[in-house]
Amino acid sequence: MTKSGSASAASKPSSGRSSRASAAKKEYLSLLRELDRRRRTNQLAAYRPYLRQAEFHAAGATNRERLFMAGNQLGKTRAGGAEWAMHLTGRYPRWWQGKVFDAAVRLWAAGVTGEGTRDNPQRILLGPPQQPAAWGTGMIPADAIVSTMAGRAPGAFDSVVVRWGGGGDVQADESVLSFKSYEKGREKWQGETLHGVWFDEEPPLDIYSEGLTRTNATGGITIVTFTPLLGMSDVVLLFLSAEEVGTMGRG
């Protein structure tokens, strides 16, 4: 009895250490999950542009119209999404040298078709359209998304209301982002007054001109991000100098 009692008493400290270790492990795993959730739902905070992206952003400080033309998978749409998320939320990082809006904004993001807009700019801004549980994992931080309005295509949004400001002495307000497509024609682009239009993929000239007109009253901006598939189109020529056009022609 004495030996058995001694053995039982000696095992208690070991059991206590095991419980503490198990609790510490659970707390550690819980912390990792929370860190991963914060990372996934606030991609904007981690955005760091490479040189060409940084130059594209910085050009917005002095240019109302900008073009980011590059090959596939080189971060064009990601750059456009990051900038649009900054304007919508008012959350500009310390390294930012581009355009700054000092109040809530009304912005459009557009693609060739409704499905193309959903699968590209909307995906970058809000997360995978096919996975509702992952909405809020795009460039717009999840805690800034106030409400959404569904579009016609499955998983597509018509518009999103985004919380702007609210930090420090900045009074909170709401920005509005709407999604458009070129296929609807110029008439669907008329009437609205906007602070910015993002064309993801090359638009027809009449659509681009109408989008630019929407920003005239606010002194707003347009950005165009695409891979050049249409050659020396009218829209591309808008952004090239006579010298650049001549050089390309000789090439």
Q: Look at the chain and report how many structural domains it folds into.
A: 1
Amino acid at 97: Q
Closest to 72 (Cα-Cα) out of 138, 21, 120: 120
**What does each of the 251 residues of the chain score in pLDDT, given as a tens digit?**
444 444 454 555 666 777 777 776 666 555 555 445 455 568 999 999 999 999 999 999 999 999 998 887 789 999 999 999 999 999 999 999 999 999 999 999 999 999 999 999 999 999 999 898 998 999 999 999 999 999 988 999 999 999 999 666 667 899 999 999 999 899 999 989 999 999 999 999 999 999 999 999 999 999 999 987 766 688 888 887 544 544 444 44
Closest to 84 (Cα-Cα) out of 195, 238, 168: 195
| Both structure tokens of 213 | 């007109």
**CA–CA separation, 246 vs 207, rounded Å?**
26
Please identify which of the residues 27, 192, 201, 202 carries the catalytic annotation: 201
Which helix (H) or strand (E) covers residue 210, if one does?
A: helix 205-213
CB atoms within 10 A of CB 139: 26
The answer to whether position 52 is within a domain reads yes
The answer to whether position 87 is within a domain reads yes
Told to judge if 187 belongs to the known catalytic residues of this protein, a careful annotator would answer no
The answer to whether position 6 is within a domain reads no
Residues 88 and 177: beta-carbon distance below 8 Å? yes
* Chain segment 93-104, per-residue pLDDT in tens: 999 999 999 999
* Chain segment 71-82, per-residue pLDDT in tens: 877 899 999 999
* Chain segment 181-222, per-residue pLDDT in tens: 999 899 999 989 999 999 999 999 999 999 999 999 999 999
Residues 156 and 112: beta-carbon distance below 8 Å? no
The answer to whether position 78 is within a domain reads yes
Domain around 193: 41-250
The answer to whether position 219 is within a domain reads yes
The answer to whether position 28 is within a domain reads no
Q: Which residues pair with 162 in a beta bridge?
A: 145, 175
Q: The dihedral of CA 145, 195, 73, 186: what is its sign?
A: positive
The answer to whether position 35 is within a domain reads no
The answer to whether position 106 is within a domain reads yes
Instruction: Write b or e for each residue in 56-86: b if 16 or more Cβ atoms lie within 10 A of its Cβ, otherwise e.
Output: bbbbbeeeeebbbbbeeeebbbbbbbbbbbb
Q: Which residues pair with 68 in a beta bridge?
A: 225
The CATH number for 153's domain is: 3.40.50.300
pLDDT value for 1: 46
